[in-house]
Chain A
Amino acid sequence: MSTFKDADEVYAYIGKAMEACVTDPKFVEATKDGSLVVLITQTDPAASILVDFPGQKVLTGDAAASAPSTVQLRMSSDNANRFWQGKLNFTLAMAQRKVKLEGKRTTALGLLPLTGPIFDAYKAILAEAGRDDLLID
């Protein structure tokens, strides 16, 4: 059984973390001249989040799935919960096909230096919402 009840929960926590980050001045400065638009497609429950870093906006649901992106990241919602807390070994997950990353490599690699602050934002949002069941030690 998934740790998330439905897609709305995914958007309420992971989506919210992304919204907090795309307008953070550090992210804006780091991504404003790039083309990093990440479509996160999750399964179980199915959810889509588009994180447009240069455009400083986040879309969810059908609007996200139909918008153009430069990097596509696919994983289960459970693994997304682990990943956005820095608890998923990405290289291993890719080798085991638990995560699929597509798009131009150099563009995708632009996401990596940004993940640390996203992990912090996501964990803070979960803690604030009292979702200890989603937090991983």
Chain B
Amino acid sequence: MTDTITEGEFDKVFAKAEELSEYFREIGPKYDTENTFAYPSIEAFKKSGLGALPVPKQYGGLGGDLLATSKVVSELSKGDSAITLAYNMHYIMVGMTMGLMSETQNKYWLGRVADGDIMFGPFSEQRAGFSGLADMKAIPQEGGGWKLYGKKVWGTLCEAADIITTNATITDADGNLPENFEDRVNAESFFIGEFKVDENGQGDGISIVKTWDALGMHATGTQTIVFDGYYVPEDGFICEWRSGAFGVLEWASLMFASIYLGMQSRILEESRAVLSKKTLGAVFGATVAADVKVSGVGHIIDGIGDMASRYELSRRVLYRTCTEVTEGYDDNWPMELRFPYIGLAKTFIADNVMHMSRHAMSMVGGSSFKKGAIFERLYRDSAASMFQPLNADQSRTFIGEHLLAPEELAD
């Protein structure tokens, strides 16, 4: 048995992804309209076994690497972007935790994922999003372990999850956060634990508050998670958060990129389907003719060509980035730029998916603007690509700062 997924094994996995993608495509519009999590997707996702894809074979998983997981995420996203963005959270957190957990933790938690459990990870808080040091407190308990108190505002996939990962700052016994900045960075920690809530979202020291109401990505179920004495035993401590996370954030960045690559593919597909058949008849406007087939109009031809080019370039950027990271070519990048350089795939694809969703509406015409049209849906959902870390502005800041920094140490 090889350590990583073989081509033959991947073909079977991808066939399952195609099947699940079709199902997501079928149910997606209903949950977008109802603005709720797509509850039937839970059983379908678990039944597919695709949750075990990135789990190494030694823990009972399928051994999928970044590229294999990326291809599956894109295929699912082609079916429905919002439902897939929810399950993308699972892939991100499995990818990140498996690089940071101890052998004992990996055996237990990844073993559960291999058996079908779903993992999520709320990290961002209202004050400063993902960049903010956690205001959420982990208060040490006399018998060992911590109780967590605070609120996380981006709890994507919470309504389907069995396992929670999160970050909180370890305080003194009285719940005081470290006063010194460096001490506070040192105390910010990464935890993993059980996530059990009832049908009303209430659990022991933890609850779901349904706050998700956004422009797009409705079916992600990105609710608020309230921690009010949620207990984490000592073996639920993974590592210091920032030092750990920066080494494994490729799982976040490249999986987000995969979501938007899948959307690019869907936009191209839908645009071709409409524009290859649409007939205008007799027109007197920008074009003047007795009988106009849209597929013969110059800017439409160019537009579809442009979309296909953007998709293909994005695909190559993403696949190549996954490959470079997996095969260690990232060794040749300056260490400080590793994360923003990996993030370039996501920011490049984000720019392209937003361009494509807007351009598709422009080419298809006013009907694409009406509620229920796939194009307005893709336009709304693609706007989410501006936010997940690193966004384009943050990436450029990281890179620019590094390149302009003086040689001298900043002491």
Contacts and interface: CB of A to CB of B under 8 A. Distances in A.
Interface of A: 43-44, 74-76, 78-79, 89-92, 94, 96-102, 104-108
B128 interface: no
B409 A90 contact: no
A94 B409 contact: no
B411 A98 contact: yes
B335 A102 contact: yes
Contact of B335 (A75, A76, A98, A108): A108
B409 A43 contact: yes
B108 interface: no
Interface string B384-406: 00000000000000000000010
Contact of B409 (A74, A92, A108): A74
Contacts, number: 46
Given A89-B186, A105-B330, A105-B335, A97 B409 contact: yes
Contact of A98 (B243, B328, B409): B409
B144 to A, nearest CB: 23
B7 interface: no
B243 A90 contact: yes
Given A99-B409, A106-B328, A91 B335 contact: no
Interface of B: 182, 185-186, 242-243, 246, 328, 330-336, 338, 405, 409-411
Nearest to B401: A97
A76 B334 CA distance: 21
B242 A92 contact: yes
B186 A104 contact: no
Q: Which 3 A-B pairs have the closest CB atoms?
A: A97-B410, A91-B243, A104-B331
Contact of B336 (A43, A94, A98): A94
B185 A89 contact: yes
A76 B246 CA distance: 24
A89 B411 contact: no
B246 A91 contact: yes
Nearest to A78: B411
A98 B246 contact: no
A92 B185 contact: yes
Contacts of B335: 94, 101-102, 105, 108
Nearest to A96: B410
B12 to A, nearest CB: 32
A74 B407 CA distance: 11
Nearest to A101: B335
Contacts of A105: 330-331, 333, 335, 338
Contacts of A43: 409, 411
6 contacts: A92-B185, A94-B336, A97-B410, A99-B409, A105-B330, A105-B333
A92 B182 contact: yes
A9 B142 CA distance: 43
